[in-house]
């Protein structure tokens, strides 16, 4: 069964008559004359197939159908009146949704403060957080499943098709089993750790940082002895605690205090330095959507 198309103006006219219960006053309120208003109400009743008002020469009263319809019509009019402000707020990023992916390392130090500030400044924006590795984020950007992401990478890496804002730069440190013979020193020499079995993430997860780590070994004429691969930094540290090997992790991972694991700085020689890693906020090329721009304001950039 098809439903009649009812112009929005008819609902405004119905509401005015229902509230005034007088066609003359309702017409004046609507800045029109009474005959066209009377015709409009009759047309609305014909479209609906039901009488909305009982009219006599002295009075106008709503029928049961009109009284039942009035609250919904008033709600419709109120929602329509609010649309311009809602459109402005959405365009300014004051309302809406922000889908943000992040690597686990950002959750140790950077992300909690950004999220706190963003929620305080933008209470009407729905923030959806998704923990995801860098490769998973790139796939999500292609599917348009996320609006922005926080990724870990080596200096100089630029994700294709994305704009980026560098928000952190930190050295890699070595996670060792607590009972490891090298765990007693406050800082370690690079040469004494390169022969240790290595727990590391697969290259597809962080290709730029993976290559930087392997490059450090190759410069020292060493081949990494990969004992185990794991995706999440927490899992890598847990495997170190199990004695499977040592692992290069960002300095911020020190905050993940896993029993049985210690973290040590490693000092290289001239020309053979331990790589550093960077964290960047990334989003698709072009002008950043308003909600993304507001999150960028909560993530102070590092000097280039």
Q: Give the DSSP letter string of 133-183.
A: -HHHHHHHHHHT--SEEEEEE-TT---TTEEEEEEEEEEEEEEEETTSGGG
Cβ–Cβ under 8 Å, residues 271 and 148: no
Query: Is residue 205 in a domain?
Result: yes
Q: What is the CATH number of the domain that holds 206?
A: 3.40.190.10
The domain containing residue 239 runs over which residues? 168-276
The predicted pLDDT at position 94 comes to 58
Main-chain phi, psi angles of 287, to 5 degrees: -65, 130
Same domain, 179 and 256: yes
Q: Where are the alpha helices (DSSP H) in the chain?
A: 8-20, 23-29, 34-48, 64-91, 110-121, 134-143, 207-219, 233-241, 290-296
Same domain, 207 and 65: no
**What proportion of the chain, given as a percentage, has pLDDT over 70?**
93
Q: Are strands 60-62 and 96-102 parallel, antiparallel or unpaired?
A: unpaired
Same domain, 215 and 263: yes
- Among 30, 60, 91, give the residue marking a domain's end: 91
Tally of domains in the chain: 3
- Among 32, 61, 91, give the residue marking a domain's end: 91
Cβ–Cβ under 8 Å, residues 190 and 269: yes
Main-chain phi, psi angles of 16, to 5 degrees: -65, -45
Task: Tell me the per-residue pLDDT of 133-155, one tens digit each, with 9 for 90 and over.
Answer: 999 999 999 999 999 999 999 99
Distance CA 95, CA 88 (A): 9
Same domain, 270 and 126: no
Query: Is residue 96 in a domain?
Result: no
Same domain, 163 and 285: yes
The predicted pLDDT at position 304 comes to 47
The predicted pLDDT at position 84 comes to 66
Which residue ranges of the chain lie beneath pLDDT 70?
1-3, 82-95, 271, 301-304
The predicted pLDDT at position 283 comes to 94
Same domain, 155 and 13: no
């Amino acid at each position: 069964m098809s439903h009649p198309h009812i112009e929005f103006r008819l609902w405004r006219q119905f509401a005015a008559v229902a509230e005034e219960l007088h066609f003359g006053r309702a017409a004046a309120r609507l800045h029109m004359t009474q005959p066209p208003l009377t015709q409009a109400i009759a047309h609305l009743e014909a479209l609906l197939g039901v009488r909305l008002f009982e009219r006599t020469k002295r009075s106008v009263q709503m029928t049961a159908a009109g009284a039942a319809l009035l609250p919904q019509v008033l709600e419709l009019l109120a929602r329509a009146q609010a649309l311009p402000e809602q459109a402005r707020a959405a365009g300014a990023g004051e309302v809406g949704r922000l889908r943000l992916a992040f690597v686990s390392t950002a959750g140790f130090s950077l992300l909690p403060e950004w999220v706190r500030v963003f929620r305080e400044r933008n209470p009407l924006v729905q923030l959806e957080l998704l923990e995801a590795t860098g490769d998973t984020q790139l796939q999500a950007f292609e599917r348009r499943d996320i609006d922005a992401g926080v990724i870990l990478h080596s200096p100089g890496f630029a994700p294709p098709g994305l704009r980026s804002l560098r928000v952190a730069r930190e050295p890699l440190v070595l996670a060792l089993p607590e009972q490891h013979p090298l765990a007693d020193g406050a800082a370690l020499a690079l040469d004494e750790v390169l022969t240790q079995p290595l727990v590391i993430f697969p290259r597809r997860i962080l290709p730029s940082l993976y290559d930087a780590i392997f490059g450090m070994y190759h410069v020292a004429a060493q081949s990494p002895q990969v004992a185990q691969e794991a995706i999440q930094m927490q899992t890598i540290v847990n495997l170190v605690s199990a004695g499977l090997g040592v692992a290069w992790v960002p300095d911020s991972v020190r905050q993940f205090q896993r029993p049985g694991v210690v973290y040590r700085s490693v000092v290289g020689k001239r020309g053979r330095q331990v790589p550093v890693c960077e964290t960047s906020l990334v989003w698709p090329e072009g002008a950043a959507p308003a909600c993304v721009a507001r999150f960028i304001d909560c993530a102070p950039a590092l000097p280039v």
